Chain A
Amino acid sequence: MAEMGEEIYRAFSENLSGAEILKKLVREKARGREWGWGRKTLPTNVAKYALGRDDDGEDQYMILMDVDGKREHHRTVKLPASGDIQSFDDDEVDDIASSIFDDDTLLDRLLTATGKSQLSMICDAETLHLEQSQKGRLSAILWKFIVTNLNSDNPDVLVAVGSAIRKYVGMLSVDRIGEVGALLETDSHPMLHLDIELEIVKMTYRKFEANPQVATDRFAKLGERFWETAQDYLRPRFLGRDKYAAGASLLIASIVAMRSRFSDQALASALASPYSWFGEKVIADLRNLADRWKFKNAESSDWCIRLVDDAMKSHNGNIGAFKASQ
């Protein structure tokens, strides 16, 4: 270890760039020399930071050191993928350090984290592939975070809430998807931010996309709530606005994917939109849905294709009748 510290010392003394130091460390690592974080192996006074990799060679870390000539402490943080050299202040170090822990540790830290660290960890949790027991822990943490921050007006918090919604719904059993509809109820809280509504609807769609339904209207209340919201989004003066078209197309796709009793009406409304591109988009999405369902549940896939075909026939018939009357 002393040898490795000496290497780093020399690297700094030689005024090598951060990237060059990284290369040096990687070479040393490849030679089987140990160096690591959490160990006092680095000389003080000269180093601002050193770069390296963790034990299995997967991550790049930056070791930060105080350079006051008196005390030595260093922290290890993950370097952004670019490999660029960056300076971090103390707040950022905690934030970045969150990414170097294993999944269990991340969950432990999530329980007590606050501020930017919490937001960062919530977002990182979205990328984890967890064991069943860990999923239960994470779901509880995410749900608490979602309901606490649902109506935040801080853009970063909303990004983290969106991330938490995606992971929470992703892990949720389709049997419990109706619970998600409660987030859309405005009785207990103010109207949701559009971005949050979009994530709820998108993930509801994706849950049904992965779990084709056989019964009609199994999630009656959720379907009703989505249809109400869809009618708001479908108003021409909204549909052209930022993100409303994405929301409206996902709402209609969700209504169909859950086989709500409003499926026909929702699809007919999409086709009747004054924006023909919107109807085309919805039809394309539903054809994709039928394709995805084909190997999971052929009956559901056939039902979806029939629904689309019938809606198209009816729509074209209406257009024909309209033209004939002119």
Chain B
Amino acid sequence: MPSFVRHVGLSAASGSMAASGVSVHQMGPPLNSSGTIKVDVFGTADLDVGQKQRIKIFKDTHESEHLARKLGKRKGYVICPHVKDEQEEDGTRVFTRFSCVGFVIEAYKNAGIELLVLNAIPSIPIDQVCRAYPDIAEELKDHPKIRGRWGIEGDGPWPVALCGYVIHSLNRSVMEIRKTAYSPQTSDAIFP
């Protein structure tokens, strides 16, 4: 039955996906490499050893930033854009915020694979954003100031990268995944 894809992470190991308890690297939040998630759907681009190592370097580079967010009380998550560098005045990047799908997109980018055509991500209204984030739907809907803190300023619509887009991108031949980034449609929020 087609379902809205709520969350994505990177499987920490190759092989078959058990229906429950798969170890993942994920932007929970916070970003962590010790979580497990129940898998309803998965995709793969058949990464080689080098690509996996490059993803690992990417994760290792950012993980401490998100451990600090966990130890403190301020957020390291952003809804839109899918990735955001927090910088000092001179442009020095201090830490990076991700959405869960943003972490996956950027990890693959570090492995040399562009999963999505980022400037083709469709803009969606607040109701659809809330569908992706039911836990904070009320505050997103009723409080524009709070929306701003999650990266979605104003009244929208916003080009929010949704988890389903990545699953649709990976639901192609390996050759196609490696060759062409996927241009998502709003209907791709649901899979299959």
Contact = CB atoms under 8 A, between A and B. Distances in A.
Interface of A: 23, 26, 30, 56-58, 60, 78, 80-83, 96, 98-99, 119-124, 126-127, 156, 159-160, 162-163, 166-167, 169-171, 173-174, 195, 198-199, 202-203, 206-207, 209-211, 242-243, 245-246, 249-250, 275-278, 280-281, 284, 296
Give the interface size bracket for B toward A: 35 or more
Contact of A160 (B68, B86, B91): B68
A198 B74 contact: no
B146 interface: yes
* Residue with the highest number of chain A CB atoms closer than 10 Å, among B29, B65, B77, B142: B65
A260 to B, nearest CB: 19
B136 A83 contact: yes
Interface string B142-167: 11011001000000000000000000
B135 A82 contact: yes
A70 B49 CA distance: 65
A120 B72 contact: yes
Interface stretch (B19-27, B52-60, B177-185): B52-60
B40 interface: no
Nearest to B58: A246
Interface of B: 29, 49-51, 53-54, 56-57, 60-61, 64-65, 67-69, 71-75, 77, 86-88, 90-95, 110, 112, 135-136, 138-139, 142-143, 145-146, 149
* Residue with the highest number of chain A CB atoms closer than 10 Å, among B54, B67, B92: B92
Contacts of A99: 72-74
B60 A26 contact: no
Contacts of A174: 90
Contacts of B138: 23, 26
18 contacts: A57-B145, A57-B146, A58-B149, A80-B73, A99-B72, A123-B72, A162-B64, A163-B64, A166-B94, A170-B87, A170-B92, A195-B64, A203-B92, A210-B90, A246-B57, A249-B57, A277-B50, A280-B54
